[in-house]
Chains A and B, each alone.
Chain A
Amino acid sequence: MSTPVLQLNALERHFTASGGTVRAADGVTLTVDRGEVVGLVGESGSGKSTVGRCAVRLDEPTGGTVRINGTDVTTMSRRSLRPLRKDFHLVFQDPSSSLDPRMTVGQIVAEPLRLHGVAKGEAARARVAELLAQVGLRPEHADRHPHELSGGQRQRISIARALSVDPALLVADEPTSALDVSVQASVLNLLADLQRDRGFGCLFITHDLAAVEYLADRIAVMYLGQIVEQAPTAELFADPKHPYTQALLSAAPVPDPVTQRTRERIVLSGELPSPLAPPPGCRFHTRCPLAVDRCRTEVPALRTLDSGREVSCHLVADDGTAPDAAAPRPADADTSVRTIPHSRPASA
């Protein structure tokens, strides 16, 4: 097997804040193989963006290692890292802030080419036209400024820039969250097409479960700085093991009123605990409808199940038998869950 394009090993990113240490990422281990799309899913405050920024060294990890194409880049200086940056790139969430408003589209897309000495002058211009065509824009867009284009077009430019030097790894941090529904679809299609054609590895960071399901081969779910479950996409959606994953999947409303009305959803009680003082034991126990005493004291390790999937929950057996968070045993569970058989007056 070839070297993974991205290997994170026990990655830690702690920030010192006035109230103590914020554990934004706390022991994240994750690999992205060549040509693979790995989805990193979590809610705000889960640390998923921090992991993404550490992976491309826009943020400095405070522990663990980051390897890109097998090279340890964790502590490499900014200067020595520069030539390696040809191999990995990032697409940001908000295309209106990630493109320099004073530059033309052509200059923006050509910047990596210029910095890595790939192409200059006429050659660069030709390459830019080619890239713009690949992301569905016209050559004359090269002379425009970002503010003259729509949100979807700007995100295409961001993608063209990221892929201009053919990186082996693309980290996409919520690339569609700032876009309208119909535009989201076209950007996801574009990412899927480009990924298939060029075969780069992709870490796709999002809170949008439907988007990640469409694009990713494998999904890792983060909660409060840690990965709680990792599985191939189809398996995760068909059979989520971790109670948090189950809650997350059930909470996302389905765009179909008939289905949505009959679905049971798990409404989590309580709040996301502060990453300044994560709860002892399992970090999810304060909101978990199934938590037992053991969960409050003993930290569950991210274990590999017999099926090869990974999950960090005491209640999941090695053979993959997992409890159903929607149907808690009333005896030993907190009353923190209410499943809602979605009442609604029959006629509006």
Chain B
Amino acid sequence: MTTALSLTAVRSRAAGSAKLRALRKNRLAMTGGVIAGVFVLAALLAPLVAPYDPAQPDFGNVLAAPDWSHWLGTDDLGRDQLSRVVFGARASMQVGVLAVILAFVVGVPLGLLAGYYGKVADSVVSRVTDTMLAFPFLVLAVGLAAVLGPSLTNATIAIGISQIPAVIRITRAETLRLKHVDYVAAAVANGGGDGTVLFRHILPNATSALVVQATVGIPAAIIGEALLSFLGLGVQPPEPSLGVMLSSAQAFLAPAPWMAVFPGLAVVAATLAFNLLGDGLRDVLDPRGATR
């Protein structure tokens, strides 16, 4: 409709900085962004932020309820819960970011290949993707981690691999869409080769979708890490991890509920924060301003 079109045109003229402004206006996204930022900072500055050594037991002060010296209480070995949550967040972020990077490094080129060249490349990549997607993400991650053996690195690899199909799928869909857009045809008509078309036109225009996918991938990886560690397939005690903390809290739910509550809240907060941020970015990250 002409109405809608002219309004969009009016709106998009002042784009650029408007994007940031729009994101700042989106309360939920901003809340998500702030919480996510806190997590990232905590992860980076864990040794400075944490008041105690997270692995140092204090048998004189086990299962202490939250008080002024231990804000989040202590666990069954007297370790400071706050320090363990901070270091646990560090492990979560490490897995979250590295797994997503791994998934993108492998998934984006395969998605481009399948979407742009089609034919045999597409059939092969799509069949493999479909097969992997037949398993729920966490089941796949657990299976892979079991095969690779328990460690933080292997958990990261397992989660990264399980996220590859989703990345392939979204890259392939974006490539298929962009392949038929006039400016890509124009690039071919300009004398551009596959490299120009893929890396100067298709990939940059697919970034919005990929950024959104990353913000969805990070919380999924955080949950994945928690689950793997909970099952003993990820971070090994005494190293702190939100999953390990939840796992050991099971036995003390009645006497020391704070052992489960705080790491649990941390997982929920991190997941929610990244998802909210992702939703906000999805709305804002369109090069022409708005699509709604």
Contact = CB atoms under 8 A, between A and B. Distances in A.
A and B touching (Cβ–Cβ under 8 A): yes
Given A147-B288, A147-B289, A148-B15, A100 B188 contact: no
B183 A116 contact: no
A115 B192 contact: yes
Interface string B187-211: 1111111001000110011000000
Contacts of B288: 101, 147
Contacts of A236: none
Contacts of B185: 58, 90, 92, 98
Contact of B15 (A86, A89, A97, A147): A147
B190 A85 contact: yes
A58 B189 contact: yes
Nearest to B286: A101
A92 to B, nearest CB: 5
A85 B205 contact: no
Main secondary structure of the interface of B (DSSP, over half): helix
Contacts of A102: 204-205, 287
Interface residues of A, number: 28
A259 B279 CA distance: 58
* Chain B CB within 10 Å, residue with most, of A79, A98, A116: A98
Report the interface size class on chain B. Answer: 20 to 34
Interface string A72-93: 0000001100110110111010
Contact of B191 (A86, A97, A99, A145): A86
Contact of A92 (B13, B186, B188, B192): B186
Contact of A97 (B16, B181, B289): B181
A156 interface: no
A264 to B, nearest CB: 33
B12 interface: yes
Interface in A240-273: none
Contacts of A82: 191-193
Interface in A89-146: 89-90, 92, 94, 97-102, 111-112, 115-116, 145
A92 B187 CA distance: 12
Given A90-B185, A97-B183, 8 more contacts: A83-B191, A90-B186, A98-B182, A98-B186, A111-B187, A115-B192, A145-B16, A161-B190
10 contacts: A56-B189, A58-B188, A90-B189, A98-B183, A101-B205, A111-B196, A115-B191, A145-B15, A147-B12, A148-B15
